[in-house]
């Protein structure tokens, strides 16, 4: 079952967080040309900013995340 058009709540929440926090969105845009944008971004967020979860408590490493969908969102212009 989809959640707001995404595979699940976890994916929706991460995408919502990345797209609606402007400073974070600007950082994320720097990763859109990477081979694995989301995996690279989340590692950088952990290492540089100590972010490991969204403000709603969803882990950036949650096993339910639809990483190809998040990559697609990051690559959009």
Query: What integer best gives the mean pLDDT of the chain?
Result: 95
Provide the number of structural domains found in the chain: 1
- Residue 69 confidence class, pLDDT cut points 50, 70, 90: very high
- Residue 30 confidence class, pLDDT cut points 50, 70, 90: very high
**58 found inside a domain:** yes
**DSSP character at residue 55:** T
**21 found inside a domain:** yes
For residue 10, what are the contacts with CB-CB under 8 A and spacing of at least 6? 58, 59, 62, 64, 65
- CA distances, 17 to each of 5, 48, 55, 59 (Å): 15, 17, 8, 12
Q: Quick one: tokens of 14?
A: 């991460």
**pLDDT at residue 2, as a whole number:** 86
How far is it, in rounded angstroms, from Cα 4 to Cα 39? 23
**pLDDT at residue 1, as a whole number:** 73
Over range 51-64, report the average pLDDT: 97
Q: What is the pTM of this model?
A: 0.92
**4 found inside a domain:** no
**54 found inside a domain:** yes
**26 found inside a domain:** yes
């Amino acid at each position: 079952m989809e959640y707001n058009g995404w595979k699940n709540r976890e994916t929706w929440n991460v995408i919502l967080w990345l797209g609606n926090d402007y400073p974070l969105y600007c950082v994320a845009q720097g990763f859109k040309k990477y081979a694995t944008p989301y995996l690279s971004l989340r590692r950088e967020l952990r290492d540089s900013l100590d972010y490991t979860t969204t403000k709603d408590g969803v882990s950036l490493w949650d096993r339910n995340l639809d990483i190809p969908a998040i990559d697609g969102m990051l690559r959009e212009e």
